[in-house]
Amino acid sequence: MKAILKNNLAITIADILRQDIMKNEIQEGVHFNEAALATRFGVSRAPIREALRSLEIEGLLKTLPNGRSVAIGFVPDDIEGYYNLRYFVESESIRKILSKTADDDYWIWIGQLEDILKEAYVQLERNHEDLFVTLDEEFHRAIIKRANYKGYMHVWNIANDISRSIMELQRKHIREEQLTNMHNSHTLHESMLAGLQNQDLEFTLSNLRIHVDHGVESFMKITKHLLLLKSEI
């Protein structure tokens, strides 16, 4: 139970620090002081270390030879690299899935994707944004899991952490656009599902590409919004 709690704390702390880095509130070269962070979040150093380890894997900070962790920084152009990584992992997974003959197990899996999207739509209509985001991730994760490529899930999780942080920043700073983006995301998921149902590789990948590009566009809008806020201060 304690391990589960610690992991949840580490994820939450990593999410907050990631957003601070993406908003440039934590700039390149800033030292992450574990004691100060433990005080800020009211936790021991263990979940702080776990959170910093996650951010290092994502390439947002580095550990110096003296053991100090410092921010690498984050610029808008970096986001395109993360989303291209996500597109590569998902597109290759889809290629593998559709390269095989559709058997009974395949159609059971398609049914599971349908159920995820049906429930996602229900939660979207109820304005349960957190549940929608969870189901959004579940839809994509099911594709990676189906392909069963070693290492792909790990890489996808890293890129997905960035995506999740962008959605949270949307909620905080451009909420009206976030709701529109959620509806657009659901529509693209339905198109991807239709492509998988028809075993149409190019149609599925084209909608995945649009979906990924929307993520980049969303972050650029957030960046412009934050710059505007700073100019007004």
Q: Where in the chain is the domain with CATH 1.20.120.530?
A: 76-232
Query: Does the pLDDT of residue 226 top 90, yes or no?
Result: no
What is the biggest distance separating any 2 CA atoms in the chain, rounded to whole angstroms?
60
The secondary structure of residue 201, as a DSSP letter, is H
Q: What stretches of 5-117 adopt beta strand conformation (E)?
A: 31-32, 61-63, 69-71
Query: Does the pLDDT of residue 175 top 90, yes or no?
Result: no
99-136 pLDDT, tens digit each? 999 999 999 999 999 999 999 999 999 989 889 989 99
69-79 pLDDT, tens digit each? 999 877 777 88
For 76-232, CATH gives 1.20.120.530
Could you give the CA distance from residue 144 to residue 82 in angstroms, rounded to a whole number? 16
Token readout for 205 is: 């990948």
Could you give the CA distance from residue 73 to residue 47 in angstroms, rounded to a whole number? 22
Residue 32, beta-bridge partner list: 69
Topology at the third CATH level for domain 2-71: Arc Repressor Mutant, subunit A (1.10.10)
Q: Where in the chain is the domain with CATH 1.10.10.10?
A: 2-71
53-71 pLDDT, tens digit each? 999 988 889 999 888 899 9
